[in-house]
Amino acid sequence: MHIHLTDQPIDVAAVLASVQDDGAGAVNTFIGTVRNQSTGRRVVRLDYEAYDAMAIRQMEHVAAQALEKWPMLRQVAVTHRKGRLDIGDVAVVVAVSTPHRADSFAACQYIIDTIKQVVPIWKKEEYEDGSVWVAAHP
Amino acid sequence: MKLKIALFGIAKEIVGSSSLDLDTPAGQSVTGLMQQLQTQYPALQKLSSLAVAVNSEYATDDYQLQERDEIALIPPVSGG
């Protein structure tokens, strides 16, 4: 598995290349990007804060869980950004390769959904008139 | 015993610092620590979730904390 946390722009092509596998007929990729609005407010940028060591450990756990659930998975790559991101920037890339496409879609969705639940990374949305830590309050 | 707790995101804002030194009884559990922190900083009670991590893993409620543990408070995550 290829797990990275970086404060530099993500090279999507490099993440895709890292899951290339001669035994794989399918590569599925999820790319999360920064959008310009949230709950009706205009977002001007995001700040991601990470608990680095634990974030990497948890992303590794999620990838390992996916490998258990889909033993046919050939390669798994996850790269997450931290720091300041502007609108349109890539925040996260998940890429998987499998022999057949159905498993590839399922594993990729499982990984991104689980990352959003367990990986200690926090997103602060900056608006023109303030900011909010996302999902902090019910 | 003395514990050092790392803080992130909104928990860091509530406490006003990226780390907190706390005096707590020996053998304090994760639940006990959480109660102590929520009493000291009531705004923590308003979060949609709050977890404690020990040595980069989520800790169970009954885990008994040690002085040498690397402890972090984990407010609701929002990566991705």
B16 touches chain A (CB under 8 A): no
CATH code for B2-74?
Answer: 3.10.20.30
Contacts of A93 in chain B (CB under 8 A): none
As for the ipTM of the complex, it is 0.95
Chain A nearest C-alpha distance from B22 (Å): 20
Buried b (16+ CB within 10 A) or exposed e, A91-102: bbbbbbbbeeee
Matching residue, tokens 């367990």: A118
Contacts of B72 in chain A (CB under 8 A): 51, 54, 120
pLDDT (tens digit per residue) in A27-50: 999 999 999 999 889 999 999 999
Does residue A44 contact residue A130 with C-beta atoms inside 8 Å?
Answer: no
* Interacting residues of A125 by C-beta distance below 8 A, sequence separation 6+: A38, A41, A43, A46, A131, A132, A134
B79 touches chain A (CB under 8 A): yes
Longest dimension (CA), chain A: 51
pLDDT (tens digit per residue) in A118-137: 999 999 999 999 999 999 99
**pLDDT at position B70, please?**
97
**pLDDT at position B57, please?**
97
Indicate the domain borders of chain B. 2-74
| Cα–Cα nearest to A80, from B58, B56, B76, B79 | B79
Lowest model confidence (mean pLDDT) among A18-22, A38-42, A58-62, A133-137: A38-42
**pLDDT at position B35, please?**
97
pLDDT (tens digit per residue) in B42-78: 999 999 999 999 999 999 999 999 999 999 999 999 9
One-letter amino acid for residue A118 of the chain: V
Chain B nearest C-alpha distance from A103 (Å): 21
